[in-house]
């Protein structure tokens, strides 16, 4: 681990000279990605999109498709349908020398774990086929599983034809049919992976090399960021002539250095013209955003956000709080606007249901984060509780016009 850290520090120093002139470094500057056809980057905790460029433009997905192949494998392991220790016998149809591969041969026996490593670290296309056959029973069934999962997790503009992202069909005019997606959909997929399988994922994608002495394989990860940035731990590259150079990437953000809490940055770059342009796009995005955006706790869990009048009564008020930290990724020179919309709620639900919602927006009126807000009836004095019940009874009978400017309680 020490050697790995030293190597990354040295690589970062060299990369600063090579890459940073392409970034407009200055807190007053807005970041711009000039290398990708489409890209998007957000933080993990709140999902705030910090930068996007044609994020919904459909394009070939290439080997980023293997993220979905891995996701379905993790699902199958979780459901105990397969095990990482399963020994798989390679079929003739699994053998594929097109693009990158781990030299699989018909009749060879290999564990599912080794196939997952090969697929994600060096982007082995043959490994993806073998995994699909084992997990899905057949390539066709696995492909159906891919498309169903994409729909289930909210990938609205994605279509899969195979598990590895190679061209599915070459038309007579030379054009190709390939797995199709958008930068936003790949971000959705990445977020899902880090939400449900963070440790299983990074145990694979944080590896800088794949070594198999029996097969004479000693290859670096295809992810160019791993040796450059210490906290990068994923995720997956992709390339076909149609897709261009693509990368879904991720970097842990540690607490400290202006960050109130740990977080993670997730990004996608698609359609870069060269490997180096792909690297610059992702590297510059991470460096700029990590320097000028910090994870801030706007309101700590259970701490007072404001005091609200109840039933529009000057004689009755309550402290309002959130049950979880209200966090966001915030630019160092950024100011937010806050608004609260209160609810009409039954008094019997006051202890367990939110009485309103806090919304935080930026200067462009984009929503930065939202949080349910609550009150604690037990904090009210006996007299205040009597007033609350009397007001609820009155509201139940009169049914006043409600604007959402204060919480209104009814008996039901």
Q: What pLDDT, on a 0 to 100 scale, did the predictor assign at position 29?
A: 67
Partners of 209 in the β-ladder: 220
List the alpha helices (DSSP H) in 105-169. Answer: 112-121, 125-136, 139-152
Q: Quick one: pLDDT at residue 402?
A: 87
Between strands 344-346 and 408-410, the pairing is parallel
Cα-based angle 18, 10, 257 (whole degrees, multiple of 5): 90
Environment class of residue 337 by beta-carbon count within 10 Å: exposed (0-12), middle (13-18) or buried (19+)? exposed
pLDDT of residue 311: 92
Instruction: Determine the length of the chain.
Output: 412
Residue 5 has pLDDT above 80, yes or no: no
22 or 204, greater pLDDT: 204
| Lowest mean pLDDT, pick from 12-16, 47-51, 251-255, 297-301 | 12-16
- Take residue 129 and report the two structure tokens written for it: 């086929």
Residue 30's pLDDT is 74
Q: Report the pLDDT value the prediction gives residue 12, as an integer from 0 to 100.
A: 47
Q: Tell me which residue has tokens 């774990």.
A: 113
Query: Beta-strand (E) ranges in 101-228?
Result: 109-111, 169-170, 176-177, 180-181, 209-212, 217-220
Q: What is the pTM of this model?
A: 0.89
Q: What is the pLDDT of residues 329-356, one digit of tens each?
A: 999 999 999 999 999 999 999 889 999 9
Residue 24's pLDDT is 44
User: Could you report the per-residue pLDDT of 161-181, keeping only the tens digit for each?
Assistant: 999 999 999 888 889 999 999
Burial class (CB in 10 A: 0-12, 13-18, 19+), 126: buried
Under a CB-based contact definition with an 8 Å cutoff, are residues 350 and 338 in contact? no
Find the range with the poorest average confidence among 184-198, 249-263, 289-303, 383-397.
383-397
Alpha helices per DSSP H over 248-361 = 275-292
Residue-wise pLDDT tens digits, 177-228: 999 999 999 999 999 999 999 999 999 999 999 999 988 999 999 999 999 9
Average pLDDT for the chain: 92
**Cα separation values, 326 from 47, 123, 261, 356, Å:** 13, 38, 11, 14
3-state helix, strand, coil in the chain (%, to 5): 35, 30, 35
């Amino acid at each position: 681990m020490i050697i790995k850290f030293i190597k990354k520090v040295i690589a970062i120093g060299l990369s600063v000279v090579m890459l940073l002139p392409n970034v407009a470094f200055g807190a007053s500057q807005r970041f711009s990605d000039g290398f990708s056809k489409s890209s998007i980057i957000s933080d993990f905790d709140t999902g705030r999109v910090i930068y996007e460029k044609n994020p919904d433009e459909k394009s070939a997905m290439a080997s980023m498709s293997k993220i979905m192949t891995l996701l379905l494998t993790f699902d199958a392991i979780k459901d105990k349908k397969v095990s990482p220790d399963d020994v798989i016998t390679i079929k003739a149809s699994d053998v594929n020398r097109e693009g990158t591969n781990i030299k699989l041969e018909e009749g060879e026996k290999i564990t599912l774990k080794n196939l997952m490593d090969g697929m994600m670290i060096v982007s082995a296309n043959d490994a993806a086929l073998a995994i699909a056959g084992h997990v899905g029973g057949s390539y066709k069934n696995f492909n159906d599983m891919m498309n169903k999962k994409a729909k289930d997790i909210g990938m609205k503009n994605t279509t899969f034809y195979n598990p590895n992202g190679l061209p599915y069909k070459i038309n007579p005019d030379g054009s190709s049919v390939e797995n199709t997606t958008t930068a936003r959909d790949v971000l959705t997929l990445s977020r899902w992976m880090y939400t449900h399988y963070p440790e299983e994922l990074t145990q694979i994608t944080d590896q800088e090399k794949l070594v198999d002495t029996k097969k004479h394989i000693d290859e670096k990860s295809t992810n160019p960021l791993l040796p450059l940035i210490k906290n990068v731990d994923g995720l997956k590259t992709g390339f076909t002539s149609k897709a261009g150079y693509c990368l879904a990437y991720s970097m842990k953000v540690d607490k400290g250095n202006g960050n109130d809490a740990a977080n993670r940055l997730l990004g996608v770059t698609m359609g870069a013209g060269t490997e180096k342009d792909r690297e610059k796009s992702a590297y510059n995005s991470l460096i700029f955003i990590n320097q000028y955006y910090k994870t801030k706790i706007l309101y700590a869990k259970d701490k007072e956000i404001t005091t609200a009048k109840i039933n529009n009564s000057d004689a009755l008020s309550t402290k309002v709080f959130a049950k979880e930290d209200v966090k966001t990724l915030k630019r160092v020179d950024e100011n937010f606007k806050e608004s609260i919309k209160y609810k009409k709620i039954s008094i019997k639900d006051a202890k367990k249901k939110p009485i309103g919602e806090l919304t935080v927006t930026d200067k462009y009126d984009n929503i930065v984060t939202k949080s349910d807000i609550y009150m604690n009836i037990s904090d009210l004095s006996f007299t205040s509780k009597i007033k609350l019940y009397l007001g609820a009874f009155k509201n139940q009978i009169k049914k006043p016009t409600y604007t959402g400017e204060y919480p209104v309680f009814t008996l039901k």
